[in-house]
Amino acid sequence: MKRNIIYLLLALLLAVSPAFLNAYWVDVLNNVGMYALLALSLNLILGHAGLFHMGHAAFYAVGAYTTAILNTSFDIPVLWTMPLAGLIAGLFALMVARPIIHLRGDYLLIVTIGFVEIVRIALINNVFGITGGANGIFGIDRPYLFGFKIRKPHEFFYLIWGFMAVTVFLFHRLENSRFGRALNFLREDDVAAEGSGINTTYYKLIAFVIGAVWAGMVGTIYAAKMTIIAPESFNFWESVVMFMIVILGGAGSIRGVILGAFLVIGLPEIFRGMGTISDLINSLFSSFGVTLSLDFSNFSKARMLIFGAAMVIMMIFRNAGLLPPLPRKYPLKKIREEMRIREEVRIREEMKIGEEMP
């Protein structure tokens, strides 16, 4: 209960934050939101099903390109393309995942890396003549929502974080269901899962498909936000960043993944802005005759170095991530009570029958 109040307060704080922030910082929050969405969709595959998938940027790319092509060539409004972007990304996932789904953890990892590279190379080579080659596609329209044109970071903020709210709501339900449990079973032990009657191949594929559908839809938002997309936006490093967010934040945990996105995407920005603060500290110390050469803004350059090291350290000391998933809660007391009442009714009725027919 207490935890829910904290989440609610944090959500409220986030919702009103654009009122106090300039465009730069709102855009940082938008980026955090985009990566959090991507990481949440990856989390189904990597966190819940435990499939080492490092090609998520490929699905993201398929979605973004679907929107870009439909919008620029066929003038379909951007947000209308969103379901289709998701669908095509999902179909693409089904197609590429089917033959490799049985591969063991680290092999799957390397194959998915291969896929994301092949997709990028295909986009550069202007495959089917519709992807615009290395320059990509430009001139994508801004989205309209209820007749309102979304253009400024402040406006995108509500589109992105609104979609986030929907995503968290739906994914939370998904986690706490037969489907979510099935993914966990096959992550824990897929031989035992099969032996308990779970079609592990099917669930692995569905995890891929749902993850890809979401990544594809985030691709639509990305295309709309940037109005220009190019293959380099979907390179292997994008996949690495998503992977990192899930692993560092907490695989299988929605709150962990969102925290992870704030850390991996937001933190370096905060330090970038702190160059003046470190200068201030330096000058403060130098006035006391102590020479310091702190430069907090360096952190953003070294962010991947630091997060790389953090992955190693995390695996050694806290391999479930910063905020690991909490055990699912079941209303056992209530269900027990119902079972007891039903049992009593049954016994009473049996006794009644016994009385009637001695």
Partner 1 sequence: MSLLKLEKLVKDFGGLRAVDEVSFAVEAGDIFGLIGPNGAGKTTVFNLITGNYVPNKGKVIFDGQVLNGLAPNKIVTLGVARTFQTIRLFKALSALENVLAGCHCRMKSGSIAAMLKTPFQKREEKEAIQLALAELDFVGLGDDADTRSDSLSYGNQRLLEIARALATQPKLLILDEPAGGMNEQETDALIEIIARIKARGITVLLIEHDMSLVMQACEKLVVIEYGRKIAEGLPEEIKVNKKVIEAYLGTDDEEEGEACF
Partner 2 sequence: MELFFQQLTNGLAVGGIYALIALGYTMVYGVLKLINFAHGDLFTIGAYLGLTLLSTLGLTDHLGPFGVVIALAVMVMGLVAVVGIILERIAYRPLRESHRLSAVVSALGASIFFQNAVMLIYGARYRVYPHDILPRVVIPIFGLNVPLLRILILLTSIVMMAALYFFIQKTRTGTAIRAVAIDQGAAKLMGINVNAVIMIVFLIGPALGGAAGLMVGLYYGQINFTMGWIYGLKAFTAAILGGIGNIPGAMLGGLLLGVIEAMGAAYISIAWKDAIAFVVLILILIVRPTGLLGERVAEKV
Q: Does 319 bind partner 2 (CB under 8 A)?
A: yes
CB of 239 to partner 2, least distance (A): 11
Cβ atoms of 42 and 108 closer than 8 Å: no
Question: Nearer Cβ to partner 1, position 181 or 272?
Answer: 181
Task: Draw the binding track, 49-68, toward partner 2 (x: CB under 8 A; -: no contact).
Answer: -x-x----------------
Given 1, 5, 19, 191, the residue binding partner 1 (CB under 8 A): 191
Q: Do residues 34 and 91 make contact, with C-beta atoms less than 8 angstroms apart?
A: no
Binding site partner of 189, from partner 1, partner 2, none, Cβ cut-off 5-8 A by kind: partner 1
Rule CB under 8 A: choose which of 59, 115, 222, 271 binds partner 2: 115
Q: 93, 32 in Cβ contact below 8 A? A: no
Nearer to partner 2, 119 or 160 (CB): 119
Give 69 or 97: the residue with its C-beta nearer to partner 1.
97
Choices 113-121, 148-156, 177-185, 253-261; region in contact with partner 1 by CB under 8 A: 177-185
User: In the window 195-224, what residues touch partner 2 (CB under 8 A)?
Assistant: none
CA 122 to CA 12: how far, in whole Å?
43
Q: Whose Cβ is closer to partner 2: residue 149's or residue 318's? A: 318
| Structure tokens that stand for 255 in this block | 């709150």
**Residue 180 contacts which entry, partner 2, partner 1, none (Cβ below 5-8 A, type-dependent):** partner 1
Read off the DSSP letter of residue 46: I
Does position 275 bind partner 2 by CB under 8 A?
A: no
Smallest Cα–Cα separation from 59: which of 202, 168, 219? 219
Q: What is the DSSP letter of 110?
A: H
Strand partners, 228: 138
- Binding string, 247-276, against partner 1, x = CB under 8 A? ------------------------------
**Cα 40 from Cα 260, distance rounded (Å):** 10
Angle in degrees, CA 349, 353, 358, rounded to 5: 145
Among 23, 127, 165, 170, binds partner 1 (CB under 8 A): 170
Please give the Cα distance from 45 to 62 (Å, whole number): 18
Surface-to-core class of residue 327, CB atoms within 10 Å of its CB (0-12 exposed, 13-18 middle, 19+ buried): exposed
User: Which among 12-20, 30-38, 263-271, 297-305 is the span making contact with partner 2, rule CB under 8 A?
Assistant: 297-305
First to last CA, the chain: 53
Q: How far is the CB of 172 from partner 1 (least distance, A)?
A: 10
Least distance to partner 2, CB of residue 314, Å: 8
CB burial of residue 303 (10 Å; 0-12, 13-18, 19+): buried
Nearer Cβ to partner 2 (281/311)? 311
- Please give the Cα distance from 102 to 308 (Å, whole number): 28
Stretch that binds partner 1, among 61-69, 290-298, 308-316, 336-344 (CB under 8 A): 336-344
| Cα→Cα distances 7→41, 236, 255, 266, 290, Å | 20, 33, 9, 19, 44
Q: What is the nearest approach in angstroms of partner 2 to the Cβ of residue 303?
A: 8
Bridge-partner residues for 138, per DSSP?
A: 228
Of 120, 321, 103, which Cα lies nearest the Cα of 239? 120
By a kind-dependent CB cut-off of 5 to 8 A, residue 247 interacts, out of partner 2, partner 1, none, with partner 2
The site for partner 2 (CB under 8 A) is made up of: 50, 52, 99-100, 103, 105-107, 109-111, 113-115, 117-118, 121-122, 124-125, 191, 236, 240, 243-244, 247, 301-302, 304-305, 307-312, 314-316, 319
